[in-house]
Structure 1
Amino acid sequence: MRFGFYRAALAASVAFCVSAPASATDLEVTHWWTSGGEAAAVAEFAKAFDATGNKWVDGAIAGSGDTARPIMISRITGGDPMGATQFNHGRQAEELVQEGLMRDLTDLATKEEWAKLINPPTLLQNCTLDGKIYCVPVNIHSWQWIWLSNKAFADAGVPVPTNWDEFVAAAPALEKAGKVPLALGKQAWQESGALNVLMAAIVGPETFLKVYKDKDETVAAGADIAKVFKAADDARKMAVNSNVQNWNEATAMVINGQAGGQIMGDWAQGEFQVAGQVAGKDYTCLPGLGLNAVIATGGDAFYFPKVDNADISAAQETLAHVMLSPETQVAFNLKKGSLPVRGDVDLTAANDCMKKGLEILAAGKTMQWTDELISPDTTQQMNDLMAEFFSTPTITPEDAQKRFAEIIAKAD
């Protein structure tokens, strides 16, 4: 997707005005946080921003990021920018930055010493292009988890699994008890996300990076990745009766004991908290599917489109400051289920699952994820392939892997 078409038309309208009066301002913030847990978390940002005398104007877009991002991009490139907008860490806003449509935050980042506060450093690097900083990382979200319903396994008369292999082995008992073994929303990003979580868990970060970072077609077509597609086939069979669309609906199946488990990022924790469930008692979390306890330091960041309104420019800077304040980092991330980007905040109130994530982070067992390593175009090809694979039982794991390797060979 290229935006050069709009450059000339927008050159005058997006010039950044450096003057910044101290008046209070309404600031529209777009994001895709609409589930119960997400709404509770984003309310913490709104509360902290409103406390400055400004006003958070919520621009939530229902659906996933795949639904929201084209709307956000269209508004920015079409000359109707919001005050601030969510993207994931990585390359999703790369072309918007290259087209000069996003505000440079380098001066603020330097003044507030973000480089000393933000941990790990890759989070700020993902906001940096040509030496300039264009976004505020607000959390560390990791995809590499499976969430298990203790009730579902008790009803099935089998122990709660400690890893993916035990989970697969327990599937017949879950089905016999009337449970759906694996809750999985019928959306492409969830299905391709499940594949990638399986890959990181089964073959480990080194092979994962050979595929997605080095774009090694031979590895993608090889025996190690064949194991991953075999596991994806198991997941497809276990999720065949998971008749929901949205990720939080799948999480609800686990919360209600209708499903044994869900492969989903740690944002699922917010839903368990809203439901009043307790980690370790009502549900179990397995980082790295219990096979390979690493986490990818992806997550969410906020970008600020260039505007020619000095009041909005000042409010943008205030919001960037507020989002990284210690108090806001704690309040937001405790409800979001994510980890803070600051390494100097007090998280004694963290639940057992968040503590597992913090321990993994402290041990340095982190890895890059696809948002950082492949372009949105390649991501869409992956999504399309996995959507077809999960909905078409006649596509064999071997056929899917062959097509996957072809995508990797041409990936950018």
Structure 2
Amino acid sequence: MTIRRTAAVLAATVLLPLGAAHAVDLEVTHWWTSGGEAAAVAELAKAFDATGNKWVDGAIAGGGDTARPIMISRITGGDPMAATQFNHGRQAEELIEAGLLQDLTEVAEKEGWKDLVRPSSLLDACTKDGKVYCAPINIHSWQWMWLSNAAFEKAGVPVPKDWYEFEKAVPALEKAGIVPLAVGGQSWQSKGAFDVMAIALAGIDTWKKVYVELDADAARGPEFAKVWAAAAKARDWSKDTKVQDWNQATNMVITGKAAAQIMGDWAQGEFQVAGQVAGKDYTCLPGLGVNEIISTGGDAFYFPKLDDPEKTKAQMQLASVMLSKETQVAFNLKKGSVPVRGDVDLNAANDCMKKGLDILAKGNILPDSTMTMSPDTTNQLQDVIVQFWNTPSMTPEEGQKRFADIIAQAD
């Protein structure tokens, strides 16, 4: 049954007038369960609890691929939480169309989100038919490669400055018994690494043709073939990772068991919890050191409709708290992400976060692919990439053809 059809049989609630406040408990679901993520969530909870209400944590282990179906099922099944995390983009599109999510426009207009949220595409992704349905809270970019300085020192080679120097260092790393590239078993990890290679190695123009314009000819072309060739090498370099979760792969870099990981900037939270210092213990390469780009993905919170005026009022308070200056700084410094507000003080930012802020300030940004493709297309592409990653006998040419065939039918 589709979300729209399910919605038709649910009792519709409306945004009720905000009356006198009473302390209420709000269940908030998300998939942040690693050490760095838990530290960041604690900042959100602390800020909301300070309003006199209570954050009831509903963490779902296993990452977004596991959590999103559970979240959607609860909302469509009549057992909604008070707030839930999704990524920026089209993941909640059908829930909005079905009338199951709160309209936050009043809060957004009162607090001037349109003037505060940067880049504006993040708020645009929350907006449908002129109404705001989510609170964007951070900018997360996949476009990073994290390097263990100790691993390269052990291998007797300099810390690379880009993907091509990394490739040259691989033989020395393998000789020293170090896994060159850590990629965990969760399907989204190999898809994310592939997409990073696409921007860095195929180039920005080709990436736009494939991921934004959905140009199948570009996906079949020679520039995109470079991505598949690099993915085949990465598949071989990562074969001895033998962990499942992304933060376990990050820990391999932290401990020097692996030399590198392609992972979003949320990995910084793990380095921070481990007491490592950017530029000293580890090095970060935005855009694999080839194309320094920030993709403006990230996280936003949506608020399902509830038949309880006091909880509805508390939902609006939570949305407001999430966008406050203090919460934006406290949360994002722990999370490793960049605040969505353009008016906050980030003097405490570390070396890697400053690199990201500099790229953002220069305007070198691209939308995350979840904002340009439907969830169905994204899932189909992920299936092909995961199969390629897990099947050494699949050639780059075969993977590229199957990928391009999906792009040809994409919406």
Structure 2 distance, partners of 1:35, 1:277, is: 16
Normalising by structure 1, we get a TM-score of 0.98
Q: Is the 8 A contact 1:183 1:250 kept in 2?
A: yes
Instruction: Name 1:248's counterpart in structure 2.
Output: 247
What is the rounded CA distance, in whole Å, between the counterparts of 1:382 and 1:189 in structure 2? Answer: 11
Q: In the TM superposition, what is the alpha-carbon distance from 1:393 to its structure 2 partner?
A: 0.6
Asked if the contact 1:17/1:307 (under 8 Å) is kept, the reply is no
**What corresponds to 1:353 in structure 2?**
352
Q: For residues 88-142 of structure 1, give each alpha carbon's deviation from its aligned partner in whole angstroms, at most 9, with x where no partner exists.
A: 0000101100111111111111111101111111110010111111000000000
1:2 aligns with 2:2: yes
CA distance in 2, matches of 1:411, 1:72: 25
**TM-score with structure 2 length normalisation?**
0.99
Q: What pairs with 1:1-400 in structure 2 (closer than 5 Å)?
A: 2-12=2-12, 14-400=13-399
Distance 1:341 1:63 in 2: 26
How far 1:15 sits from its partner (Å)? 3.4
Partners of 1:249 and 1:359 in 2: how far apart? 29
- Deviation for aligned residue 1:8: 2.3
Cα offset, 1:285, TM superposition: 0.1
Structure 1 segments, 4+ long, off by >3 Å, are none
Contact 2:4–2:97 (CA under 8 A) maintained in structure 1: no
- Give the Cα separation in 2 of the matches to 1:109 and 1:15: 18
Mean Cα displacement is larger for which, 305-314 or 271-280?
305-314
What amino acid is aligned across from residue 79 of structure 1 in structure 2? G
Give 1:264 deviation, angstroms.
Answer: 0.2
C-alpha separation in 1, matches of 2:298 and 2:7: 29
CA distance in 1, matches of 2:307, 2:15: 5
Separation in 1 of the partners of 2:121 and 2:82? 25
Structure 2 residue ranges without an equivalent (≥5): none
Equivalent position amino acid for 2:201 in 1? I
Query: What is the CA distance between 1:245 and its match in structure 2?
Result: 0.6
**3-state SS of the aligned residue for 1:10?**
coil
Residues 4 and 94, structure 2, Cα contact 8 Å, conserved in 1: no
Q: CA deviation at 1:20?
A: 3.4
After superposition, give the CA deviation of every residue in 1:141-198 in whole Å (9 maximum; x if it has no partner): 0000000000000000000000011111111111110100000011211111111000
- Matches of 1:154 and 1:327, distance apart in 2: 39
The AA in structure 1 aligned to 2:193 is: A
Deviations 1:191-216 (Å, cap 9, x if unpaired)? 11111000011122221111011110
Q: Is the 8 A contact 2:216 2:408 kept in 1?
A: yes
Q: Distance in 2 between matches of 1:60 and 1:354?
A: 26
Cα distance in 2, alignment partners of residues 28 and 329 from structure 1: 20
* Aligned mates of 1:129, 1:54 — CA distance in 2: 29
Amino acid at match of 2:115: K
- Which deviates more, 198-207 or 332-341? 198-207
Between the aligned partners of 1:18 and 1:214, the Cα distance in structure 2 is 43
**Conserved 8 A contact 1:17-1:313:** yes
The total of aligned residue pairs comes to: 411
SS of equivalent residue, structure 1 residue 195: helix
C-alpha contact (below 8 Å) 2:4/2:95 kept by paired residues: no
Q: Tell me by how many angstroms 1:407 deviates.
A: 0.7
Q: Give me the whole-angstrom Cα distance separating, in 2, the residues matched to 1:21 and 1:5.
A: 35
Distance 1:55 1:153 in 2: 46
TM-aligned CA deviation for residue 382 of structure 1:
1.2
Task: Report if aligned partners of 1:323, 1:329 keep a CA contact under 8 Å in 2.
Answer: yes
Gaps of 5+ in 1: none
Instruction: List per-residue Cα deviations over 1:22-59 (Å, max 9, x = no partner).
Output: 11110000000000000000100000000110000000
- Partner SS, residue 15 of structure 1: coil
2:10 maps to a residue whose letter is L
- SS, match of residue 9 in structure 2: helix
State the distance in 2 between where 1:203 and 1:405 align.
Answer: 14
Q: CA deviation at 1:19?
A: 3.6
Kept after mapping to 1: 8 A contact 2:134/2:303:
yes
RMSD: 0.9
Residue pair 1:26, 1:56 contacting (<8 A) in 2 also: yes
Identity of paired residues, percent? 66
